[in-house]
Copies of this chain bind each other. A is one copy, B any other.
Amino acid sequence: MHYIGVDIGGMTIKVGLIDENGAILCKSAFETRVGDSPESVIDQLAVCIQRIIHSMKVHPDLLGGIGLGIPGSILNGEVLHSNNLHWDHIPIVDILSKKLSFDADKIFAENDANVAVLGEVYFGCCRDRQHAVLITLGTGIGTGIISNGQLLVGNGACGAEGGHMVIVPNGNPCTCGRKGCWEAYASATALERMTREAIEHYPDSGLANESLKEGKVSGKTAFNAYRAGDKVARRVVKQYIKNVGIGLVNLANILRPEVIAIGGGISKEGEWFCRALQDMMDEEAYGGEANPRVIIKQAVLGNDAGIIGAGAFAMYSSN
């Protein structure tokens, strides 16, 4: 059986055909333009999917399903709300089903962080795990949760918003309206803020030099300066890792996954980043050595995570 995985982003939509082992047999992508209507975007998506099906000569009976990973709240095949896409109440599954003349019961839409964790569980670093969490450290913090082999989505599919747990009462304002959310301390955006603050305080530091060299402050600036030996950068990175670790251990204590996979831009800092988080987990997770260890891993699906995750979601939902 084959599956189509669709990664719907704010600017780019990626479509791939995967087999049952998660191998991408063919992929394609198209850009959307600001102001494109949902109808027009879904139109383009249908054309793209059809092209792949035709070019790969996929027999309709051998297409197990189409999975859609979408940033926003998704329920029963409908995009209730998506900030990134500026969509509200778009019954994407119905629309796409009609455009493709493909059974709506075999098209599955889900939040992008949720499909991403399924990708890692089916084909990535959490393979065959019954309990797994994927967090993505990017503009915000996305969390996808598998508990007892099932995707945890909560009532109205509005759960798994782990980025919005307060870890500092009355702390930094978060986009969600609360103060002190984990996302406001541990996202890439938060790291950039911490980096900028440190540069203001220490304009002669290696960290400040690194940002001049890069021409901007990014999520990489502090890590690069730290690796070059700068002490200010070292403090920023250490504090950032602590911020990430607090939320990870919190999630571990609530959900006790076998693995927490770290994705998003920051995860590319590599193995030592995960090792530092593992140390904190081993130190602080509830029950210590008496309880099964929570393993921290770097997510492995990278740029194709969206396609593979959405394909995995189609497999998960159709089985």
Contacts and interface: CB of A to CB of B under 8 A. Distances in A.
A239 to B, nearest CB: 10
A155 B286 contact: no
A154 B146 CA distance: 10
Contact of A249 (B152, B162, B178, B286): B178
A277 to B, nearest CB: 15
Interface in A102-143: 130-131, 143
Interface residues of A, number: 48
Contact of A166 (B80, B154, B176, B250): B250
Nearest to A149: B150
A55 interface: no
A152 B160 contact: no
A287 B154 CA distance: 13
A81 interface: yes
- Counted per complex, copies of this chain come to 2
A254 B143 contact: yes
A21 interface: no
Q: Most chain-B Cβ atoms within 10 A of its Cβ — which of A152, A154, A294?
A: A154
Contact of A256 (B156, B167, B257, B288): B156
Contacts of A148: 150, 152-153
Contacts of A286: 158, 161, 164, 176
Rank and list the top 7 A-B pairs by shortest CB-CB distance, nearest first: A154-B256, A159-B256, A165-B250, A156-B292, A158-B291, A161-B253, A164-B253
11 contacts: A73-B291, A147-B150, A150-B150, A158-B287, A159-B253, A161-B287, A164-B253, A166-B250, A169-B246, A177-B284, A250-B250
Interface of A: 73, 80-81, 130-131, 143, 145, 147-148, 150, 152-156, 158-162, 164-169, 176-178, 242, 246, 249-251, 253-258, 284, 286-288, 290-292, 294
